[in-house]
Structure formats: C-alpha cells, structure tokens
C-alpha cells in the first residue's frame, strides 16, 4: 500500500493505535529527542510520537509538527512498508531472484534490479508535486532552514541535525541516481554539512564532481511515503536506484518533479525538499560532534558544505526525525527490516546460510549472528569471509556463526552456544579490513580488525576427535504434560 504523504501514514498509525500525540509545547532542543529515547526503550518499541507544538529555545512555535519513532516497532515497520509483516517482502524478493538462479551475488543484484523494473517500480516524472506547494529561494531571503523544527538530540551535539533525510545525488557521468540517508548538520539559514561517509555512494559521486571541478547539485527529501526514507537506509549496491526499490516496496512508482533551482529531480510526494550545491573546490566544513548510533559522540571532522538554494514544502508538511544513541532505538527496526528483505539475495550466493540477525546491542555493524547448515569442515569460516566481502557487511566487527537450529534473533540463545561450543584458539579468526567511519575503537579511522567466531558443533574434519555430546531435551510427551500441569495449577491460583 502506498501513502501519498507522511500525514496519511500518521493517520494510519493513529487508526492502528500506534500514535501518541503530544499536544503540550516541546522544545526541539533535547526535549523531543529525550522523549523519543524513553519511548523507543519501552517494550516492543513503544508508540510513534507526534509532537504537535514543537517550539524553539525561546518558546516560539514552529509551523510544522514533528513525527519521531514512526518506524520504531515490528508492527510500525510493516505499516510503513504496507505489509502485515516485513517478512512478506523478503518472500517477494526471493521470488524475484529465484526466477532464474544467479551464479553469484553480483548476478543476484542484477536479477533483483531487472525484477524491480518488471514490477513497474520505475520512477515516473510528473508535472506538479505537492512538495512544491510553497517555495522559498535563497535570493528572496527568509529564515531558510530555521523554519523547520530540526532537532538537537544530545547535549554536546554541534547543533541541530536532520536525522531522516533522503540525500539525492547523481553520478555525473552515468547520470545514475543514488539516495542515501546521511545526516545533515544545520550551520546557518542556507548552509549545512552533509555527512556522507567515505564508503558511501554519495561520497563517491562527490569525489567525481570534485575531480571534474564541477559544482554538484544535491537535493534532500524529507517525508513523503515512509517507504522512500526506508529505501535510503537500505544497503543496496551502487547502481540500484533506491526510489525504484521504494516503488517495488509500495507497489506504486515514485513520482518526480524537476527541482526549482537545481538540475535534479525530486520526489513529488515529499513533505520538504532542500535543494542546493556542494562546492567542488571547498575543503569541507567542520561537522559534529554528534551523539551517534554507537551511543558515543562522533568527534568533529571535515564534511562537504551544502549551500541551500531553495527550500520547498507542502502547505501542511510534517517533519520526520529520529534520535540515535544507545540501543535499542528506532534505527534497529530499520536495520532489521533491511536484513529480512535482502537476506534472499545473500542466500543466493551462500546456500549454507539459514538466517542472519544484527542484534540491537551491536548497533548494526558491531555484531552479526549468522546460522548455517554446515556440510564440510571450515564452512562457517568460508561463510564469514563471504559476508565480509558483501557490501556494507564489510563493516561487521564480530561475526558469530551458529548451527541451523539456533535462533539468531534470540541473543540469549546465541550467547549460550557461543559460550558452550567454542574453544577460543581453534574457533576464532581475525582479519584486517575496512571499518565503519563511526567506529571509535579502531586505532586508525576506517580500517581495523574483524573477528569471526565459529560456535557451531565441530566436525571430525575440523580436528575434533571426541564425540560431540547430545543436548539435553525432554520428550515431546513430557513437555506437553508439563505445560498442562502448570496451566491447571495457574488457573487454580
């Protein structure tokens, strides 16, 4: 199901009892983020929060409400993507790539791309867009970004940050579009810093423009169908247009209009659009500090300066935001949905792979739990190397491999087998590789070591000469009788 705006998603959340409206004034400086932090840590992810009266530090109200924690539960993630359960989309992706089994992961992605095109997910250009109902141009003056209730989420943040932006760029040669979710620090009414990290596609496009000495047009969409912002977070390979993927998710093409001040197209249904350029000659600008996904502040670093040339928006726009920090947070649900949707593509290349989870405690890349059907010695290590070679999985610091029957979504169960099944010297491998830009633990930025831990039962061929013991399990009859006895006892009080 497609939403024609963020407000229709909000209405749906309301009807489903998934929305808490906060009618009291709340400050964009820390207060809204602190409330979302508390709510996202309640069981199952709490409710989505709509702050109807965001105010600045002086108590002056903004014209737009703020939606936060909109994706922050399994149910809301499904609602955002128009399904009862996100797993349904995984099955749809599986059907696409299974149509003609690919020989490798690159071919699997190609198949997915072809499948998306066949599903009429191709973006479509239209004449007019609700995102341009109101237009502010830099040359007309005005308050620019100060009109938008951008949040400061942690006390030592360098300023307010847009935290759910869809950053739209194009490859200057191939004209291929990319949409990435990269936070944006507001530096002034018409100036901001774009935090696309070294390994991301936006950074690759930026480098090409710099080498060509050409100013880079950039557009940032906020809101619209929640499938659009989710697609911007998904670890799709370079070359698959995230808006085509969004079209597949929402079963309806994303529509586009030309931006008003830059040679780039923008999604017609967005709530806000920021248009501007990145200067190819600039050294970059100080960005940060920022209280990050990791639960720590990321220090100041240089990132591209974004000069805003126009801001357009719906008359009744809603500003979408999130807060990142110590888990569990809303971003856990976004990451988990990506895993569930894209796992079939990984499985095409790793037939032994059964399931994979990024536990909330691991904040995306710190920890990966993977289960496999082991058929030959050292297959768990083979799988780990394959995962480290697969796109953003390269950042995984700790990969724990367990047998097929272990539930990787149950951290306690994985930790049990991790403790029980490993002989540390035999079952751990260390490799060197690229590290996530946010990782403060590596000695050097962007590179470090990664560990793979094989917590599967060991085969004779792996040097284990003893007989692997059997696990203690009662009989199904005894288990059924036990449940009956306990239920009766509970009923009797």
Ligand X SMILES: Cc1cc2nc3c(=O)[nH]c(=O)nc-3n(C[C@H](O)[C@H](O)[C@H](O)COP(=O)(O)O)c2cc1C
Verify binding: residue 298, ligand X, rule CB under 6 A: no
Verify binding: residue 195, ligand X, rule CB under 6 A: yes
Verify binding: residue 64, ligand X, rule CB under 6 A: no
Q: Which is nearer to ligand X, 185 or 262 (CB)?
A: 185
Residue from 46, 54, 115, 202 touching ligand X (CB under 6 A): that is 202
Residues in the chain: 493
> Of 266, 312, 6, which is closest to residue 132 (Cα–Cα)?
312
- Binding region for ligand X (CB under 6 A) out of 40-48, 198-206, 349-357, 444-452: 198-206
Restricting to residues 254-273, name those near ligand X by CB under 6 A: none
Most distant CA pair in the chain, distance: 79
For ligand X, what does the binding mask look like between residues 329 and 348, x meaning CB under 6 A? --x--x--------------
Verify binding: residue 436, ligand X, rule CB under 6 A: no
Verify binding: residue 322, ligand X, rule CB under 6 A: yes
Residue from 40, 228, 233, 261 touching ligand X (CB under 6 A): that is 233
Q: Which is nearer to ligand X, 178 or 379 (CB)?
A: 178
Q: Which is nearer to ligand X, 49 or 453 (CB)?
A: 49
Please tell me the count of residues contacting ligand X according to CB under 6 A.
20
Verify binding: residue 196, ligand X, rule CB under 6 A: yes
In the set 225, 241, 292, 331, the catalytic residue is 292
Verify binding: residue 393, ligand X, rule CB under 6 A: no
Shortest distance, position 264 Cβ to ligand X, whole Å: 16
Verify binding: residue 200, ligand X, rule CB under 6 A: yes
**Does the CA dihedral 199-201-206-211 come out positive or negative?**
positive
- Binding region for ligand X (CB under 6 A) out of 16-24, 129-137, 230-238, 353-361: 230-238
Q: Which is nearer to ligand X, 115 or 180 (CB)?
A: 180
For ligand X, what does the binding mask look like between residues 137 and 166, x meaning CB under 6 A? --------------------------x---
- Binding region for ligand X (CB under 6 A) out of 39-47, 108-116, 196-204, 245-253: 196-204
Verify binding: residue 65, ligand X, rule CB under 6 A: no
Shortest distance, position 220 Cβ to ligand X, whole Å: 12
Restricting to residues 93-132, name those near ligand X by CB under 6 A: none
Which residues, at least 6 apart from 380, have a Cβ–Cβ distance to it below 8 Å? 372, 374, 401, 452, 454, 456
Residue from 324, 356, 357, 414 touching ligand X (CB under 6 A): that is 324
Residue 4 a catalytic site member:
no
Q: Please give, one letter per residue, the 3-state secondary structure of the chain.
A: CCCCCHHHHHHHHHHCCCEEEEEEEEECECHHHHHHHHHHCCHHHCCEEEEEEEECCCCCECCCCEEECCCCCHHHHHHHCCCCCCHHHHHHHHHHHHCCCCCCHHHHHHHHHHHHHHCCCCCEECCCCHHHCEEEEHHHCCCHHHHCCCEECCCCCCCCEECCCEEEEECCCCCCEEEECCCEEEEECCEEEECCCCCCHHHHHHHHHHHHCCCEEEEEEECCCHHHHHHHHCCCCCCCCHHHHHHHHHCCCCEEEECCCCCCEEECCCCEEEEEEECCCCCCEEECCEECCCCCEECCEEECEEEEEEEEECCCCCEEECCCCCCCCHHHHHHHHHHHHHHHHHHHHCCCEEEEECCHHHCCCCEEEEEECCCCCCHHHHHHHHHHCCHHHHHCCEEEEEECCCCCCCHHHHHHHHHHHCCHHHHEEEEEEECCCCCCCCCECCEEEEEEEECCCCCHHHCCCCCCCCCCCCCHHHHHHHHHHHHHHHHHC
- Binding region for ligand X (CB under 6 A) out of 9-17, 179-187, 259-267, 448-456: 179-187
Q: Which is nearer to ligand X, 201 or 367 (CB)?
A: 201
Residue from 9, 109, 182, 256 touching ligand X (CB under 6 A): that is 182
Shortest distance, position 92 Cβ to ligand X, whole Å: 20
Verify binding: residue 392, ligand X, rule CB under 6 A: yes
Query: Annotated active-site positions, please?
Result: 292
Binding site for ligand X (CB under 6 A): 163, 178, 180-183, 195-197, 200-202, 233-235, 322, 324, 331, 334, 392
């Amino acid at each position: 199901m497609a939403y024609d705006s963020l407000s229709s998603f909000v209405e749906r959340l309301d009807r489903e009892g998934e929305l808490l409206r906060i009618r009291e004034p709340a400050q964009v400086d820390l207060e809204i983020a602190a409330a979302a932090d508390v709510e996202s840590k309640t069981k199952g992810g709490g409710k989505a929060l709509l702050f109807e009266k965001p105010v600045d530090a002086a108590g002056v109200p903004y014209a737009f409400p703020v939606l936060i924690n909109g994706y922050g539960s399994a149910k809301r993630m499904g609602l955002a993507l128009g399904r009862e359960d996100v797993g349904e989309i995984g099955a749809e992706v599986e059907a696409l790539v299974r149509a003609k089994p690919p020989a490798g992961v690159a071919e699997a992605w190609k198949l997915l791309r072809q499948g998306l095109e066949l599903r009429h997910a191709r973006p479509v250009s239209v004449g007019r867009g609700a995102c341009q109902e109101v237009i502010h141009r830099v040359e007309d003056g005005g308050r620019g970004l100060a009109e938008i209730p951008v949040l400061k989420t942690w006390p030592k943040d360098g300023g307010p940050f847009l935290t759910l932006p869809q950053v739209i760029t194009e490859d200057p040669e191939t004209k291929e579009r990319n949409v990435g979710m990269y936070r944006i620090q507001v530096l002034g009414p018409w100036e901001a810093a774009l935090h696309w990290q070294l390994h991301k596609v936006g950074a690759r496009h930026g480098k090409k423009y710099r080498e060509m000495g050409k100013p880079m047009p950039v557009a940032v969409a906020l809101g619209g169908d929640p499938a659009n912002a989710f697609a911007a977070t998904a670890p799709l390979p370079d070359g698959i247009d995230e808006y085509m993927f969004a079209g597949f998710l929402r079963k309806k093409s994303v529509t586009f209009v030309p931006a008003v001040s830059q040679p780039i197209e923008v999604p017609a249904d967005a709530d806000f659009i920021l248009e501007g350029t990145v200067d190819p000659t600039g050294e970059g600008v100080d960005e940060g500090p920022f209280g990050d996904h990791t639960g720590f502040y990321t220090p100041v670093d240089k990132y591209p300066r974004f000069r805003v040339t126009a801001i357009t928006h719906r008359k009744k726009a809603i500003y979408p935001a999130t807060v990142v920090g110590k888990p569990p947070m809303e971003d856990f649900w976004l990451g988990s949905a990506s895993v569930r949707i894209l796992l079939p593509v990984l499985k095409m290349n790793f037939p032994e792979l059964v399931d994979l989870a990024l536990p909330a405690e691991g904040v995306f890349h710190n920890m990966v739990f993977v289960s496999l059907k082991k058929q030959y010695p050292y297959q768990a290590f083979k799988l780990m190397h394959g995962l480290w070679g697969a796109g953003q999985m390269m950042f995984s610091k700790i990969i724990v491999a367990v047998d097929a029957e272990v539930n990787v979504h149950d951290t306690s169960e994985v930790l049990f087998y991790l403790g029980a099944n490993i002989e540390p010297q035999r079952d751990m491998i260390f490799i060197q590789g690229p590290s996530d830009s946010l990782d403060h633990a590596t000695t050097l930025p962007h590179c470090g070591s990664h560990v793979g831990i094989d917590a599967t039962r060991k085969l004779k061929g792996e040097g284990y000469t003893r007989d692997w013991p059997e696990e203690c399990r009662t009989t199904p009859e005894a288990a059924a009788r036990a449940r009956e006895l306990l239920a009766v006892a509970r009923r009797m009080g």
